[in-house]
Amino acid sequence: MADAHPNDTDPFARFHAWMEEAVASEPNDPNAMTVVTTTLEGRPSARVILLKGVDDRGFVFYTNKESRKAGELAVNPHVFLLFYWKSLGRQIRIEGMVENVTDAESDAYFATRPRISRLGAWASSQSRPLPERSVLEGRLADYEARYPGEDIPRPAYWSGYRVLPEYFEFWQNMPFRLHDRTTYTRGATDAGGDGGWAVGKLFP
């Protein structure tokens, strides 16, 4: 499959082009991405979550700030994202650091979630041991009674992160495993650079 933007010097433009094609071809969750975090000791952990926003600053996802991933990001803000679309034979690797999104951003996104998902944010002590499913179901029922309508506030511990990318790699499957790998590395601004993107290639 030919790359829609083979000479593009803006990795965000290429990301948007590839995501548009993924939305048209992937049967489920084209915005699914693997998020890799590490402990202070360097032990990695990975999980698949959904990308909820992207702008010219970075890539946004939301979570319980008391979860394992949040705890790891608190001690090591470096993060790795991986998008993989099997139907297109493509993947994108992104390395960067996280910053917290604003309360206004978190409130706005939380308000778009289905009602049960918003209640679930209250009911779930994410990443902590669950004795049995009925405990979660009971807590959900308690919050349904507490908030019977659509006016459900966002828990203070539920918010989001923006990944500020420093490196992209766009991988395109090619015949005979002669894959195309295009990299974008952000230039340093403290060394007289303009903070733009250096474009390169890697052997497959």
Helices and strands: H and E segment counts in the chain:
5, 9
Per-residue pLDDT tens over the stretch 120-147: 999 999 999 999 999 999 999 999 999 9
* Pair of tokens at residue 27: 């049967």
Per-residue pLDDT tens over the stretch 144-202: 999 999 999 999 999 999 999 999 999 999 999 999 999 999 985 444 556 799 999 99
For the chain, the domains span 11-112+155-201
Region for residue 127 given its phi and psi (left: phi exceeds 0; alpha: psi -120 to 50; beta: otherwise)? left
pTM: 0.90
Could you tell me if 127 and 49 are in contact, meaning their C-beta atoms sit under 8 angstroms apart? no
CA 109, CA 115: separation in Å to the nearest integer? Answer: 12
Determine the average pLDDT of the residues in 43-72. Answer: 96
3 sits in which H/E element: none
Strand ranges (DSSP E) for 5-139?
32-38, 44-50, 53-54, 59-64, 78-85, 90-100
β-partners of residue 169 are: 93, 183
Could you tell me if 135 and 142 are in contact, meaning their C-beta atoms sit under 8 angstroms apart? no
Q: Thinking of the domain 11-112+155-201, which architecture would CATH place it in?
A: Roll (2.30)
Which residues does the annotation mark as catalytic? 177
* Pair of tokens at residue 130: 């669950």
Eight-state DSSP code of residue 177: G
Question: Locate tokens 């474009």: which residue?
Answer: 199
Tell me how crowded residue 159 is: count the other CB atoms within 10 A of its CB.
21
